[in-house]
């Protein structure tokens, strides 16, 4: 099921996202022990720093994974975890241990293998992981996570997490969730703001070009696109 929510009808992007995360966490925690969320970087970090403090929940049950991560030290400006640490921890009562981080001292190949091991603590190893929510960004070329247009990783059919050393967007070394994992999530949520995104949103949602972001089509889950007026102006 695909839902496209555009403000102002549904309020601001931040309030839409807060409401969606509140109900997703309530549902997950009513039937299970943990709420497992995949984070992306970019403008989403600031948006979540705005949204998450509005949520009433048992924060000790939340676990934050990374939809993709740059293989750089945590204190680098390029580290997505570093950004969350700076902008989020302290605003909500979560600990660094609730973030399932890459090992920045490894190569991208080994960091991806290590990340699969870390994920296996939370997800049965013989089944495709099922995240409660994946929070996704959209690059101007249609990339999401670190899945770039025409890249061979788009064809990955079995691994949960893959390395990439030739990312067209710097830095070049990253790890990323693969499409089978992304499309097995209960909810995939794109939260997109600004008129600078209108053209690529049009290519994905209206023209239905075969771009990485358009290949996010959860099999049994829900797909949300939350757009502000600027991003929806096409
Ligand atoms: C990365 C980011 C990236 C981001 C999109 C959208 O590692 O480069 O995670 O994939 O999500 O490029 O970025 P903005 O939200 O900043 O436009």
Note the pLDDT tens digit of each residue in 200-227.
Answer: 999 999 999 999 999 999 999 999 999 9
CA of 137 to the centre of ligand 1 (A): 5
Q: Cα separation of 148 and 152, whole Å?
A: 9
Strands 133-136 and 187-192: parallel
Give the mean model confidence (pLDDT) for residues 17-32. Answer: 96
CA of 7 to the centre of ligand 1 (A): 21
pLDDT band at 138 (very low <50, low <70, confident <90, very high): very high
Residue minimizing CA distance to atom 13 of ligand 1? 42
ipTM of model:
0.95
What integer pLDDT is reported at residue 8 of this predicted model? Answer: 65
Around Cβ 172, how many Cβ atoms within 10 Å?
Answer: 13
Q: Is the link from the previous residue into 8 a cis peptide, with omega within 30 of 0?
A: yes
User: Which ligand 1 atom is the nearest neighbour of the CA of 197?
Assistant: 17
Residue minimizing CA distance to atom 14 of ligand 1? 42
User: Which ligand 1 atom is the nearest neighbour of the CA of 67?
Assistant: 9
Q: State the first-to-last Cα distance of the chain, in angstroms, to the nearest integer.
A: 22
Residue minimizing CA distance to atom 1 of ligand 1? 41
Residue minimizing CA distance to atom 10 of ligand 1? 145
Give the mean model confidence (pLDDT) for residues 120-133. Answer: 97
Cβ atoms of 222 and 185 closer than 8 Å: no
The total number of residues shown for the chain amounts to: 234
Residue ranges covered by each domain of the chain: 2-186
What integer pLDDT is reported at residue 7 of this predicted model? Answer: 74
Give the mean model confidence (pLDDT) for residues 156-165. Answer: 97
Percentage of residues in the chain having pLDDT higher than 90: 94
Residues 6 or more apart whose Cβ sits within 8 Å of residue 225: 2, 3, 4, 5, 190, 192, 201, 205
Beta bridge partners of 191: 226
What integer pLDDT is reported at residue 9 of this predicted model? Answer: 63
Summarised one tens digit per residue, pLDDT across range 68-119 is 999 999 999 999 999 999 999 999 999 999 999 999 999 999 999 999 999 9
CA of 209 to the centre of ligand 1 (A): 19
What integer pLDDT is reported at residue 1 of this predicted model? Answer: 77
pLDDT of 157 higher than 70 = yes
Residue 233, Ramachandran bin (φ over 0: left; ψ between -120 and 50: alpha; else beta): beta
3-state helix, strand, coil in the chain (%, to 5): 35, 20, 45
Percentage of residues in the chain having pLDDT higher than 70: 98
CA of 143 to the centre of ligand 1 (A): 8
CA of 31 to the centre of ligand 1 (A): 32
- CB under 6 Å to ligand 1: residues? 40-44, 68, 70, 80, 137-139, 143, 169
CATH placement of domain 2-186: 3.40.50.1360
Give the mean model confidence (pLDDT) for residues 17-29. Answer: 97
Give the mean model confidence (pLDDT) for residues 163-168. Answer: 96
């Amino acid at each position: 099921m695909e839902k496209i929510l555009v403000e102002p009808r549904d309020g601001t992007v931040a309030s839409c996202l807060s409401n969606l995360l509140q109900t997703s966490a309530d549902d997950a925690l009513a039937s299970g022990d943990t709420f497992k969320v995949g984070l992306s970087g970019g403008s989403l970090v600031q948006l979540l720093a705005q949204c998450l403090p509005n949520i009433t929940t048992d924060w000790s049950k939340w676990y934050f994974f990374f939809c993709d991560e740059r293989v750089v030290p945590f204190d680098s400006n390029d580290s997505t975890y570093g950004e969350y640490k700076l902008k989020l921890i302290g605003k909500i009562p979560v600990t660094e241990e609730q973030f399932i981080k890459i090992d920045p001292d490894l190569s991208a190949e080994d960091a991806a293998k290590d990340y699969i091991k870390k994920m296996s603590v939370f997800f049965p190893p013989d089944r495709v992981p099922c995240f409660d929510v994946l929070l996704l960004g959209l690059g101007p070329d249609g990339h999401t996570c670190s899945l770039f247009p025409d890249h061979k990783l788009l064809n990955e059919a079995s691994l949960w997490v893959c390395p990439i050393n030739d990312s067209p967007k710097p830095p070049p070394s990253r790890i990323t969730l693969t499409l089978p994992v992304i499309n097995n999530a209960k909810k995939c949520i794109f939260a997109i703001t600004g008129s600078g995104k209108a053209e690529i949103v049009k290519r994905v949602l209206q023209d239905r070009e075969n771009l990485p972001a358009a290949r996010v089509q959860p099999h049994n889950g829900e797909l949300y696109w939350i757009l502000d007026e600027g991003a929806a102006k096409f």
